[in-house]
Structure 1
Amino acid sequence: MPTTATATATATAVSRPGVQPPFYRAVGDEAEVFRAAACQGLPVLLKGPTGCGKTRFVEAMAHELGRPLITVAGHEDMTSADLVGRFLLKGGETEWVDGPLTRAVREGGICYLDEIVEARQDTTVVIHPLADHRRELPVDRLGTTVPAAPGFQLVISYNPGYQSVLKNIKESTRQRFVAIELGFPPPDIEREVVAREAGVAPEIANSLVLLGDAIRNLEGSPLREASSTRMLILAGALVAGGLNLRAAVRSAIIRALSDDPDIVRALGELADAVLPSS
């Protein structure tokens, strides 16, 4: 019987009575689309900027559906073997060790491949048979094919605004997925999220959301990434930890967005204009 390993993945347990569900505040119909896709075993592609809540959304849906969740962060050195599995030497003997994707296929869980375009091309090719009518995973090194257990669902994500022409999802991959587009929530919802997740007062959350919105709407912005909801929550958490608001903003938002002294200075001036004076 193949052994399993989770060296390249994070496993999240299924929903259990008494366990607090991950907090996610829906903005549109994303939850309804995901539920329908899960019901039919259809793969899902999440598109959206960094820090907008893609991972939290998947965690919340997995909890709601009561399915195991295995999350894999894509990176440039990740190969298909990291997902499917490999032979490893243990105690002088060679044993096959399932990768996180194979585990999810066997167990009927959700496998979430975060920022899939960061991985090597052979990684995306291996998911094709899982993302169409076949719902099976070829394991070439074992000379076998693993059928997806009931409940298995493949979810991938990427940031379309950040990727270059050389790092994008091929049409042959994209057309196998149901696409859900996520973005930063509107101010009223983002204030609720920041206040709850950071544990700060509504007025602090409001100030952070106003600043985040101002940074996102900078005309001719030189920033590669916008101020994310995640950043606002981090700044709020620093405030909850006893730091004053401006120092929290400098550490969690301004200095995290850029190393360029001129940009940092300009963002600091923007923060001074937007944040309350005391």
Structure 2
Amino acid sequence: MVIEAPYYHQTDQESEVFLQTFQNRMPLLLKGPTGSGKSRFVEYMAHATGQRLITISCHEETSSTDLIGRFIIKGAETVWIDGPLTTAVREGAILYLDEVAEARPDVIVAIHSLTDHRRELFIDKLGETVKAHENFMLIASFNPGYQRGFKELKPSTRQRFVALSFGYPTSKIETEILVNETGVKQDIAKKLVAIGGKIRNLTELGLTETVSTRLLVDAAKLIQSGLPKRLACHVAIVEPLSDDAQTIESMKDLVDLMI
């Protein structure tokens, strides 16, 4: 069975950076706002290189034990089960730590020896050091603008990675993405992109996060499947961005004027 490549529209030289980083056995850090294409880029490049991709969506409870592995009781025996990080290190897969800054600090400690010349993982509970397979690649992502000052990566950690910055694409490319992802008509895609651009520029709304390409894709999907355009924009773009009644009403008014 031939697996179709994930759709991704390259906006810079990120593919070349990825390939050179992979060939040089270096870790890669993707920086950018929510829904700007970081995860899709990783999926696309894993497919392009023929590598297995293991993705971990990090959160405040993600620990090094979750990544490295643990002992479990199986019948009358206690057996060791490799975690996703250990599996990727042994087998030579791409390990993608999505929103790594959200994880507990011990996760960063666990990956330190994989992000320098050693490229090895120490499994404390086994007393074993595992040398990374030559095709192993560590990729992490984080959103620098989210809860600034609370969810930042330390400079000592950031400097262990080659880094790529992601932003929202130009209106032309974003329109193409919506058409390709959803099949929506181009004129509707252009209106959705215009709405996204307008809200992104309204800094006075005080939004923690702004309109991502992902939200625009969601709205386009709902429209394409038959939901009225204004309602689709209200539920897929406006409502996910805020809980403040006045802010929501302002954005709804803007949407109604533009579509």
Q: TM-score range by the shorter chain?
A: over 0.9
Deviation at 1:92?
2.7
* Structure 1: tracts of 5 or more residues without a match: 1-16
Amino acid across the alignment from 1:149 = H
Match of 2:220 in 1: 236
Separation of aligned partners in 2, 1:219 and 1:94? 56
* Structure 2: tracts of 5 or more residues without a match: none
Deviation at 1:221?
2.8
Match of 1:198 in 2: 182
Deviation at 1:164?
2.9
Match of 1:81 in 2: 65
Match of 2:30 in 1: 46
Amino acid across the alignment from 1:127 = I
Separation of aligned partners in 2, 1:32 and 1:220? 38
* TM-score in terms of structure 1 length: 0.91
Alignment of 1:267 with 2:223, yes or no, is no
2:6 aligned to which of 18, 22, 29: 22
Deviation at 1:199?
1.8
Residue aligned with 1:220, SS: helix
Deviation at 1:97?
0.6
Separation of aligned partners in 2, 1:236 and 1:92? 54
1:35 aligned to which of 7, 16, 19: 19
Match of 2:143 in 1: 159
Structure 1 stretches of 4+ with a deviation exceeding 4 A read: none
Deviation at 1:34?
0.7
Separation of aligned partners in 1, 2:185 and 2:61? 42
1:226 aligned to which of 203, 210, 215: 210
Percent same amino acid at aligned positions? 50
Deviations 1:180-229 (A, max 9, x none): 00011101110000111122111111111000000101142311101000
CA-based RMSD of the aligned residues comes to 0.9
Give the number of aligned pairs.
Answer: 259
Alignment of 1:146 with 2:145, yes or no, is no
Match of 1:102 in 2: 86
For residues 104-143 of structure 1, the aligned pairs below 5 Å read 104-143=88-127
Separation of aligned partners in 2, 1:196 and 1:261? 34
Residue aligned with 2:2, SS: coil
Residue aligned with 2:204, SS: coil
* TM-score in terms of structure 2 length: 0.98
